[in-house]
Amino acid sequence: MKTVLCYGDSNTWGWNAATRARYPREERWTGRLQQQLGEGYWVVEEGQNGRTTVHDDPVEGSKNGMNYLIPCLESHHPVDLVVLMLGTNDLKRRFCKSAMEIARSAGRLVRAIRTSPFGPGDQPPRVLLVAPPPITTLTDFSEVFAGSVEKSLQFGTWYRAEAELHGVAFLDAVRDVLA
C-alpha cells in the first residue's frame, strides 16, 4: 500500500467557512483523493487550522509547520508522497511576508522532506508542492488578512519557481485544478 501524506492547514483539515465546522470526510479534498486513488493507497490527512510554513504565531501559538513536519513524517514512515499545501496563514498581516517569501518558506519544508529518510527504503519521500488557492472572501478574518488577496494571487508563480528549484512536482490549486 502506498502512503500519501497531505500536510497543510485548514484547507487540508476541511474547514467549512459557511458552517464554521468541518466538512464530512468524504467531502474534503483529501477524502475525494482517497476515493479516486482507491484501496491501494492510504491518504493521511495532516491538516491543522492556522498552520504556517515556518513561522511561530505570536497569537495562536503551536502553528509552525516546520516544528511538526519531521515527527509527522517519522510517525507515518514509510511515506511515498507528501502533498504539501501551506502558505495561506503566512499571509496574515502580523507576519508581513511577501508571496515570494512565503513560497521560499514552503521551499524550506520541501528541503526538509527531501533530506529525510522517511520514504520507502529509508529514502526521501517524493513531494508535490501545491500553491494554495487565493483568498477570495475574508468576512470574519478581514482584519487579520488585510492586504493578502493581492499577495495570494501571486502564489502560483512563486511556488512553481520553488518546485523547479528543488526538483519536485508542482500543482497550482487554481490554474491546474479549478481551470
* pLDDT number for residue 178: 54
Banded model confidence at residue 68, pLDDT cuts 50, 70, 90:
very high
Does 99 have pLDDT greater than 90?
A: yes
Q: Measured between alpha carbons, how far apart are the two ends of the chain, in Å?
A: 31
* pLDDT number for residue 122: 97
* pLDDT number for residue 46: 98
Residue spans per domain, the chain: 2-172
CA–CA separation, 109 and 137 (whole Å)? 27
H-state helical runs in 77-147: 99-114
Cell numbers representing residue 150 in the block = 493581492
Q: Select 2-172's CATH number: 3.40.630.10, 1.10.10.10, 3.40.30.10, 3.40.50.1110.
A: 3.40.50.1110
H-state helical runs in the chain: 10-13, 29-37, 65-75, 99-114, 148-152, 155-166
Q: What's the whole-model pTM score?
A: 0.94
